[in-house]
Structure 1
Amino acid sequence: MSVVTTSSATGTASAPARRDAEATKAAILRAARHLLARHAHADITLKAVADQAGVSPPLILKYFGNKDTLFSQVMSFETDAAALLDAPLADLGRHMVRHVLVSQTEQGADPLLRIVFAPLHGEQGDILRANFRTQVSDRLAARLSGPDAGLRAELAVGTLLGLGVMFGIARGTHVRATDLDDIVERYAPAVQAQLTL
């Protein structure tokens, strides 16, 4: 009885459960993003997401309710864009290139590359495209000064996605065999050229 009283009084029993719940939700979202970057939305089952995340399908239902609710969060680029654009404008091209390469290397996929598979996702692809435009391209354009900011932002992002496709999807042997710092040095100026005039 004293253990229950102590746990209730200090709140230690609920704190670990909350942390575990947040870690589990994050693992589920990572797994769903991973699958969405490789498969059509209609082909992804909750069981596949659960297997990828190392949890049970009922746990996904507990946290997200259903597949549509889960994927509405997965289709957002807010968090990914915040990480991608988290650098001063003068060094943003370098940061963006490194971010894509490190994401590919450490996570097996860059979350931004989900946009490449939008045509496979039917109506969900339209949501993915709209989110990408507003949360990534338009957000980047808002940071740029000078003429044609929207065009320049889209060209910078397109250049970046090309690298991501070659590195992570086409798995170019020369690109993958090259040191990441060397790729950043060679590629960042092409991205930066669109960001600063």
Structure 2
Amino acid sequence: MNRPRDADARRADILAAARRAFARHAYADTTIAAIASDAGVSPALVMKYFGSKEHLFAQVFTFEEDATALFDAPLDGLARHMVLHLLATQVEQTRDPLLRIAFSRQHEEQGREARINFRAQVVTRLAARLPGPDAPLRAEMAIGVLLGLGALYAMVRAKHLRDMTHDEIADRYVPLIQPLLTGTEA
């Protein structure tokens, strides 16, 4: 019986629709009905899986799983892994593992919570892996470079950047990010 898999797929479709909705509209203007329609499910099913719009928003702006995948490499190869992972999720999975933080500014109080989650689950988590007393600053800077790359690639759709292979992009970005991770001079 494939029922659990179908439920997982529906849940993923709902989350994807919610990401799109919260990226385009303010929290107050986003409805469960619109999310359900985009996901091809009923509003009742959205409520069954997530309980409320607040809980759905919290799921959209949770970065724990994304950070686990993003940081899943040894420190000496972490920059390359982070760049390639970000690019792969943009193209192959059509996901925005980190970029959805850019949309949090339009969501007043809920956006504040999203930014707190991002700092704790992404930036602070990365800083904990880095050596040296200025690790929190270097973590912020490394994530900033990565967000810039993601914005250029996915949102701006920078032509010259998108004409490059992922490995070519990584070759250019690793020298910018890796010294921030290891605390060494470029």
Indicate whether the TM-score tops 0.5: yes
Q: CA deviation at 1:111?
A: 2.2
Matches within 5 A, 1:2-41: 16-41=2-27
Matches within 5 A, 1:1-197: 16-196=2-182, 197=184
Q: CA deviation at 1:24?
A: 1.6
Q: CA deviation at 1:116?
A: 1.0
Q: CA deviation at 1:162?
A: 0.4
Residue identity (%): 56
Amino acid at match of 2:43: P
| Deviating more after overlay: 62-71 vs 26-35 | 26-35
Report how many residues are paired.
Answer: 183
Distance 2:24 2:154 in 1: 11
| Deviating more after overlay: 62-71 vs 140-149 | 62-71
| Higher-Rg member (1/2) | 1
Distance 1:51 1:97 in 2: 34
Using the size of structure 2 for normalisation, the TM-score is: 0.91
Task: Describe the superposition over 1:137-186 as per-residue Cα deviations: whole angstroms up to 9, x where unpaired.
Answer: 00000001112000000000000000011111111111112222111111
Amino acid at match of 2:177: V
Counterparts in 2 of 1:34 and 1:135: CA distance versus 1, 3 Å = same
SS in 2 for 1:97: helix
Counterparts in 2 of 1:46 and 1:19: CA distance versus 1, 3 Å = same
RMSD of aligned residue pairs (Cα, Å): 1.6
Q: CA deviation at 1:109?
A: 4.0
Amino acid at match of 2:82: M
SS in 2 for 1:111: coil
Distance 2:152 2:24 in 1: 15
Amino acid at match of 2:130: L
| Deviating more after overlay: 38-47 vs 181-190 | 38-47
Q: Tell whether the 8 Å contact from 1:34 to 1:109 is kept in structure 2 after alignment.
A: no
Distance 1:35 1:83 in 2: 24
Using the size of structure 1 for normalisation, the TM-score is: 0.86
Q: Tell whether the 8 Å contact from 2:61 to 2:101 is kept in structure 1 after alignment.
A: no
**Which residue pairs with 1:6 in the alignment?**
none
In structure 1, list runs of 5 or more residues that go unmatched: 1-14
In structure 2, list runs of 5 or more residues that go unmatched: none
Amino acid at match of 2:113: I
Counterparts in 2 of 1:138 and 1:109: CA distance versus 1, 3 Å = same
| Deviating more after overlay: 67-76 vs 26-35 | 26-35
| Deviating more after overlay: 102-111 vs 131-140 | 102-111
Distance 1:123 1:50 in 2: 23
